[in-house]
């Protein structure tokens, strides 16, 4: 398999150092391995050969991720109380999402806690403003933010959840289910046939939530860093 190393422009600009994405392996590309402060490779769980080759080059397994697809063909709207977030919600949303994913692949020793926080704060701010993700839906109770979910419409009538987070004091109270139902409502309003959801393999609570809703495993990948 041939290897290409592509500069991840967005992440490099955001973090302020060179981040490359690896696709396969060739001798020519090996010459540029040391040009990047961080190299990352997303590899199918079934591609054992590539995983072994990457490890021989000094790559380390960082995180596993699982992709679910939820078939919307037989879904009807739930009509939840969730509403689109506005810029007035940003301070609360940035506080929530900035602390929601400390164990994601954007963690130490590859990224600092401050970089992790800033990454997800920027992501959710862009979602509220309709950049990258299309919108963020939020749930409140007595004016208190309980959680939020960002969404975007992909090609071929597939909607995707970007980020989903529940405030710590409202976890295990059904808020996650309400946010997922709101995501389904929005996807149906966009005439999407499927809802795509990606989460980390260690996030058992999220995996349980999506499977209870009827989502099926579509793919499993591993992230390797060097």
Q: What does the pLDDT look like over 116-136, one tens digit per residue?
A: 999 999 999 999 999 999 999
From residue 192, give the alpha-carbon distance in Å to each of 77, 127, 137, 187, 216. 12, 19, 17, 5, 16
Given a cut of 90, whether residue 29 has pLDDT beyond it is no
The C-alpha atoms of residue 119 and residue 180 are separated, in whole angstroms, by 23
CA dihedral of 78, 81, 85, 91, whole degrees rounded to 10: -130
Percent with pLDDT over 90 in the chain: 86
pTM of the prediction? 0.93
Catalytic site positions: 210
> With left for phi above 0 and alpha for psi between -120 and 50, is residue 157 left, alpha or beta?
left
* Residue 34 pLDDT level (bands cut at 50, 70, 90): confident
At residue 2, the pLDDT reads 60
Query: What letter does residue 133 receive in the DSSP assignment?
Result: S
Average pLDDT, the chain: 94
Candidates 145, 149, 219, 139; CA nearest to 184 is: 149
CB atoms within 10 A of CB 148: 29
Q: Once rounded to an integer, what is the mean pLDDT over residues 43-49?
A: 95
């Amino acid at each position: 398999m041939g290897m290409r190393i592509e500069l991840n422009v967005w992440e490099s600009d955001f973090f302020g150092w060179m981040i490359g994405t690896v696709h396969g392996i060739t001798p020519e590309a090996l010459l540029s391995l040391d040009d990047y402060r961080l190299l990352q490779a997303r590899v199918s769980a079934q591609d054992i050969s590539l995983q072994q080759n990457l490890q021989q080059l000094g790559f380390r397994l960082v995180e596993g991720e699982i992709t679910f697809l939820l078939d919307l063909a037989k879904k009807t709207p739930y009509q939840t109380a969730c509403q689109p977030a506005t810029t007035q919600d940003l301070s609360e949303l940035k506080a929530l999402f900035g602390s929601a994913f400390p164990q994601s692949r954007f963690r130490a020793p590859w990224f600092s806690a401050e970089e992790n926080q800033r990454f997800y704060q920027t992501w959710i701010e862009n979602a509220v403003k309709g950049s990258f993700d299309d919108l963020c839906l939020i749930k409140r109770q007595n004016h208190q933010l309980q959680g939020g979910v960002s969404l975007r419409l992909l090609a071929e009538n597939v909607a995707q959840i970007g980020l989903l987070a529940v405030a710590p004091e409202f976890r295990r109270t059904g808020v996650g289910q309400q946010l997922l139902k709101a995501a389904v409502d929005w996807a149906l309003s966009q005439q999407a046939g499927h809802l795509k959801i990606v989460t980390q393999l260690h996030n058992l609570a999220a995996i349980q939530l999506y499977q209870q809703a009827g989502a099926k495993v579509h793919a499993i990948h591993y992230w390797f860093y060097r």
